[in-house]
Amino acid sequence: MIWPALATTSAAALAAWAVRSPRSSLLGPVVWQGPQTKRQIALTFDDGPSESTPALLDLLDSHAAKATFFVCGANVRRLPGVAREIAARGHELANHTMTHQPLYLKSHAAIQREVVDAQSEIAGVTGAPPKLFRPPFGCRWPGLAGVLRQADLRLVMWSAIGCDWRLPASGVAARLQAAARPGAIFCLHDGRELTLQPEIAATIGAVRVIMPRLGQDGFRFPTVSEFICPTPSSNVLSR
C-alpha cells in the first residue's frame, strides 16, 4: 500500500508546485525573470493603486527608476487619478484581476470575469489595455492560460518577493539585496488587496534603502515590458 500513498503525495506536491511556484510553466507560459545580459532589475508593485502610491512614485522619480504596477481593477475604479498618474510618470500598468480574489478553485467563467473586467477598467481609465498579468497571491489555476491568451496578456511572476506585507523595511530590503542580480524581477506591494488607505511604510522604506545600493552597483530599472520585449508596447498614458 505504500506505493499508492507515495504516488498520491507526489501528485499533490506536483499540483501545488504548478499552482504556486513562480517558475512553474505546467499551467501555461510564464515569465519569472528577464535577460541576464544587462545589469537591469524590474521593480513590480501589486495590489494598487492606493492612497500611498504617489509617495512611492516620488521616490522612484528621485532615482530615475521605472516600474510595473500590477493593479486591481476595483482600486483603479476607486482611484482613477492615481492610476493615470502612474502612467503619466512613465510607468507601466498591468492586470492583477478586478477584485483580488484567489483564482484557485474558481470556474472558467469566474476567472475570465476577473481578468476581463480588470482589463476593461484599466483601459477605460488610462486609455490603453495592459499587456501583462499577475494572479493574486501568485496562484494559477487550470483555464487561466486560455483566458490570458484570449485577452492577449502575458503571465509575469517574479524571481524574488519582498514579503513587505509582514516584514519590516530592513527585512524586505535584505531579501531583495540578497536576490539582486541581472534579470531579477522583484515583487513588492503598493496596496494591500482592496484595503482603503493601506499601510505600506515597509515597502517605501525598503525601496528607499535598496535603490541607492543597487544604483551604485550599476543597475538600471526598466518596466517589465521594456525588460522582456525587444520592441515594448507599454501602456503609458498618452499626453
Active-site residue set: 46, 189
Q: Which helix (H) or strand (E) covers residue 114, if one does? A: helix 108-126
Integer Cα distance of 89 and 106 in angstroms = 35
E-strand stretches of 15-133: 42-46, 67-71, 92-95, 132-133
Amino acid found at 47: D
Return the closest-CA partner of residue 70 out of 86, 52, 90, 55.
Answer: 86
Integer Cα distance of 141 and 24 in angstroms = 12
Integer Cα distance of 213 and 226 in angstroms = 22
E-strand stretches of the chain: 42-46, 67-71, 92-95, 132-133, 154-155, 160-161, 185-189
53 and 199 in contact (C-beta within 8 Å)?
no
Cell numbers representing residue 62 in the block: 528621485
